[in-house]
Structure 1
Amino acid sequence: MEATQALLLENIKRIRKEKGLTQKDVAEGSDMLVPTYSRLERGGSNPSLASMVRIAKALGVPVVELLSTSEIKDRNVAQKLEMIGNLSEYNKSVINIMLDSIIEKDRIEKLQEVKKNSRLAELEAIRK
């Protein structure tokens, strides 16, 4: 499967699930038979541009979103990042400190998990 088609199908499925829609909902909203839509979502067929427009409309998103790549999957996070850009310099500094603290906390927790797993493996080796 071509990368663009894989991205398209991944986005269609992700958006459908995020919106709590069934394949039947999207199929009906885009004037398709359910088996046809299901096959499309599984990668069994390539949608035409007209089909992509109808699917986007049924999902309630612009067509471009079906083909967009984004490192940020969580739209709420993206919206919050945009809002942070409009904060005062002081509040941006506070958020920066908070984020650094959370990232450091996560790093420490991961290190502790690695150490714990290593010790458990050592104990298991001794036990055998």
Structure 2
Amino acid sequence: MEPTQALLLANIKRIRKEKGLTQKDVAEGCGMLVPTYSRLERGGSNPSLASIVRIADALGIGVIELFQSSEIKDKSVAQKLSMINELSEYNRNVVTILLDSMIEKDRVEKLQDVKMKSRLSELNAIRKKA
């Protein structure tokens, strides 16, 4: 079994158990027969992309979570920053651009929230005068 498939199947099983779901729960949630789902989870068959999407939906998660290494997911931000420093220069630049974009997005959202609250206050003041 290739490493990506092994990671996918391990994550499906781990997340299912973390959420307290049975194989039957997930199978029903994604429209599979229980034996089919069970065989898939054991690595007896390769899931199609459509099946992966349905399984993620049944687990209540995004597809990307099924492919994330728990070694990385469980690390603190400080540990991840240390790992970023070990990336190639190109990948560090990509991460920098992504971080800058997220920080700017958050700043814009906060600004919009402040403006919206101000406008709502103005509307409330006008209503009270009327």
Scaled to the shorter chain, the TM-score interval is 0.5 to 0.7
What is the aligned partner in structure 2 of residue 22 from structure 1? 22
What is the aligned partner in structure 2 of residue 38 from structure 1? 38
Aligned-pair RMSD on alpha carbons? 1.8
Residue 32 to residue 53, structure 1, CA distance change in 2 (3 Å): same
Mapping for residues 55-66 of structure 1, pairs under 5 Å? 55-66=55-66
Measured against aligned partners, the alpha-carbon deviations of 1:66-98 in whole angstroms (never above 9, x if no partner) come to: 111132565xxx6xx45xxxxxxxxxxxxxxxx
Structure 2 gap segments, 5+ residues each: 78-130
What is the aligned partner in structure 1 of residue 89 from structure 2? none
Mapping for residues 40-119 of structure 1, pairs under 5 Å? 40-72=40-72, 81=76
What is the aligned partner in structure 2 of residue 2 from structure 1? 2
TM-score of the two chains, using structure 2 as the length reference: 0.56
Cα drift, residue 15 of structure 1: 0.2
Distance (whole Å) between structure 2 residues aligned to residue 29 and residue 35 of structure 1: 14
Size of the aligned set, in residue pairs, is 78
Measured against aligned partners, the alpha-carbon deviations of 1:9-47 in whole angstroms (never above 9, x if no partner) come to: 000000000000000000000000000000000000000
| Percent sequence identity over aligned pairs | 81
TM-score of the two chains, using structure 1 as the length reference: 0.57
